[in-house]
Amino acid sequence: MFQKLDSLLFMAKYRLRAFLTDEEGDVNIVSMVVLIGIAVLLAIVFRDAIKNLINNLLATISGNATDAVNGD
């Protein structure tokens, strides 16, 4: 019985060590954080241009919707 428990303990230690030393996902997480940071910086830098673009798009959509309802 002690041999079986010893073997289970050894396997648990091995799997825990393998899990803690696995660095496969770290690069993906770092790259995602960097890309999100770049997107936020671009949004801050071009904030006024983005606002103008959205306002123009919404005005165009409203005008087209009004024209469609009025039948012009």
pLDDT of residue 69: 84
CB 35 within 8 A of CB 29: no
Residue type for position 64: N
Whole-angstrom Cα distance, residue 72 to residue 69? 8
- Whole-prediction pTM value? 0.47
Residue 24 scores a pLDDT above 70: no
Put residue 70 in one of left, alpha, beta given phi > 0 → left and psi -120 to 50 → alpha: alpha
Summarised one tens digit per residue, pLDDT across range 38-55 is: 999 999 999 999 999 999
